[in-house]
Amino acid sequence: MDAATRPSPEIVFDTFFAYQRTAALKSAVDLEIFTAIDEGTDRVQDIARRSGGSERGTRILCDYLTIIGLLSKAGDRYALTPESSMFLSKKSPAYIGTVGDFLVSPAIMRHFDDLTSTVRRGTTAPEGNIVAGQEQEHWVTFARAMTPMMMPAALSIADALDIGAAGRVKILDIAAGHGLFGTVLAQRNPQAEVVAVDWPGVLTVATENAAKMGVADRVRTVSGDAFSVEYGRDFDIVLLTNFLHHFDQATCVRLLEKVGRALKPGGRAVILEFVPNEDRVSPPMAAAFSLTMLAETPGGDAYTLAQLKKMIAAAGFSGEVTAHSLPTPETIVIATK
Amino acid sequence: MDAATRPSPEIVFDTFFAYQRTAALKSAVDLEIFTAIDEGTDRVQDIARRSGGSERGTRILCDYLTIIGLLSKAGDRYALTPESSMFLSKKSPAYIGTVGDFLVSPAIMRHFDDLTSTVRRGTTAPEGNIVAGQEQEHWVTFARAMTPMMMPAALSIADALDIGAAGRVKILDIAAGHGLFGTVLAQRNPQAEVVAVDWPGVLTVATENAAKMGVADRVRTVSGDAFSVEYGRDFDIVLLTNFLHHFDQATCVRLLEKVGRALKPGGRAVILEFVPNEDRVSPPMAAAFSLTMLAETPGGDAYTLAQLKKMIAAAGFSGEVTAHSLPTPETIVIATK
């Protein structure tokens, strides 16, 4: 094999060193490097002064961010890429830097400290289950951290439901978190009433967001566990956003049965999920999400559309099931009772 | 901005989640997934049985390895890529899976737990310095883990020195580690004598390797710190492989002066390093190595060729300085006294 065709070990090293990418992005967000550059502070000594970093540390971090595609560099000046400009500068309305507060918090990352044992067991460590109890502070962090991420999906759900033309509707938002999915529907339809279910600590975030968005009078909260709390009846719409992936298929079917009982005839369950193709290795982000669920939950997964349809049918939904792709890596699946 | 030109947040998520790539590769090496597939065990249930993993965990891990480019998948069968076949199957003579024992050991990775503070300080945490003391077990791990990686560079150094035609030569191998660079020269030139300097624990690895390679009678060891130990005199060749990057420039100059005093007139110092281009952001692997040195050392760096030449000149070397690129991401720089 000659040098030109001999494989390079670079992908092996790049993968072993990948954890440094995570750390570098987290630090850059903490130090507001992207915001500094967006403000025109584009040379090492000035960025260092603005961010409170040393010149040596700032120079090496900015070069590294350039190498991994989050900055560009010309001479001694750095510039944002289209992605870092839109998503990582605090000057951007689409800023999502806060997602790191949840995604790379020590409470979440520790699930990958011993992935080998997790693969052997086939499930998270007993003490590691992120969905085990309502006292877990990280769901409050999640609700606060992920809010900015969710708006494109929330608007897409409103469109898919044609909510503005739906008239008087009762909406149940299960594991509401930040509450954004319900509150956006309430904003788009002044006759919509929302019941948001979640653990008490998390609901304070949902309540804050409903107030900010001017729909607090039409958002009621029910605190408790989604599997045991009483939902009420005769809902037109039930939102199940980013929830099913935490559970195994039998548990999902049980929950969907409960959702079915809460819906009016002809009512719709709206599922937002990472939905990989049937090959389970594409598209990359949706498919890769399975590993997160392996590490962090007892039996969760990123389910394919065929799997979701099977669970929906098993739960007794007999109407149409439609899938709607999004500008984000998730998919909306709407099941009619 | 329409959907087609709107930037995607995918790179942001991919970077936040990058630590999972590290964990997945480490687990796959631990579980010998690549070796199993190389042996023809290519379906989930069979790989799981061979590796002692659960089917669920193995399925999700193999899919993830496919997503990140280390496996391919057709139907329910996985296959190696050219890179994982050459570098990650234990059946391959070029297997480098052991590098993870050093690269992603907890002792090394913890330097990235609080990179923000490191960037602020501009240097590793006082307790974090990987080059601070001779008692550090991780240099023994390094010497054992990295041996398989070093052979291509060792052979290239032998070629660059035309060592087979060099006649009777005295070689000093500073911070010899696995000792491979010196022992390969001794193998290629039966008149070569090698003095290997390193900390005592590490030298046991060098001695083992010299014995395995049949040159133990021409490899002598001197244990101690490279900055304080007496090297001896009249060396023809001094090897400084993967060493300078741990230190700041003033310290490197001091060491190079000491190397100069140990060399004969016309003798050659052989430096093996990650050498980024002057832009400091290419090629990616050499340039990215600066971040590792920021996190793990007081003042180390990946030095450009101009910086190396400046340090070599400041240390009093007046002969030619030549650079030789390698099939690996490093560069050989040879400085004549």
Interface membership of A216 toward B (CB under 8 Å): no
Interface membership of B207 toward A (CB under 8 Å): no
Nearest to A152 by CA among A272, A240, A308: A272
Q: How far apart are CA B30 and CA B329, in angstroms?
A: 25
B261-270, B297-306, B319-328: the lowest-pLDDT one: B319-328
- The CA–CA distances, whole Å, from B154 to A7, B38, B99, B164, B181 equal 19, 28, 17, 13, 5
Q: CA of A89 to nearest chain B CA: how many angstroms apart?
A: 12
Nearest to B31 by CA among A179, A116, A71, A11: A116
The C-alpha angle A101, A104, A107, rounded to 5 degrees, equals 90
- pLDDT band at residue B151, thresholds of 50, 70 and 90? confident
Nearest to B148 by CA among B86, B58, B204: B86
Give the DSSP per-residue string, B244-295: GGGS-HHHHHHHHHHHHHHEEEEEEEEEEE----TTSS-SHHHHHHHHHHHH
Is residue A1's pLDDT more than 50? no
Tell whether ipTM is more than 0.85. yes
According to DSSP, the β-strands at A219-223 and A192-198 are: parallel
Q: What percent of chain A has pLDDT over 70?
A: 96
pLDDT number for residue A102: 85
**Are residues A123 and B54, on separate chains, in Cβ contact within 8 Å?**
yes
Which among B11, B87, B281 has CB closest to A12? B87
**Are residues A21 and B15, on separate chains, in Cβ contact within 8 Å?**
yes
Is residue B308's pLDDT more than 70? yes
Beta-carbon count within 10 A of B231 CB: 18
Interface membership of A4 toward B (CB under 8 Å): no
Tokens of A307: 């799997």
pTM over 0.90: yes
Nearest to B61 by CA among B24, B104, B14: B24
Which carries the bigger pLDDT value, residue B6 or residue A295?
Answer: A295
Is residue A165's pLDDT more than 90? yes
Residue pLDDT, tens place only, A66-97 = 999 999 999 999 999 999 999 999 999 889 99
The C-alpha angle A250, A179, A288, rounded to 5 degrees, equals 50
Residue pLDDT, tens place only, A298-337 = 999 999 999 999 999 999 999 999 999 888 889 999 999 9
Q: How far apart are CA B199 and CA B133, in angstroms?
A: 9
- Classify burial at B43, counting beta carbons within 10 Å of its beta carbon; exposed 0-12, middle 13-18, buried 19 or more: middle
Question: Mean pLDDT score of chain B, rounded to an integer?
Answer: 93
- Judged by CB atoms within 8 Å, which residues 275-294 of A form the interface with B? 279-282, 284-285, 287-288, 290-294
Q: CA of B38 to nearest chain A CA: how many angstroms apart?
A: 16
Nearest to B288 by CA among A19, A14, A64: A64
Tokens of B320: 């030619």
Q: How far apart are CA B128 and CA A311, in angstroms?
A: 51
Mean pLDDT of B247-262: 98
pLDDT number for residue A2: 47
- Beta bridge partners of residue B197, listed in sequence order: B174, B222
Q: CA of A82 to nearest chain B CA: how many angstroms apart?
A: 6
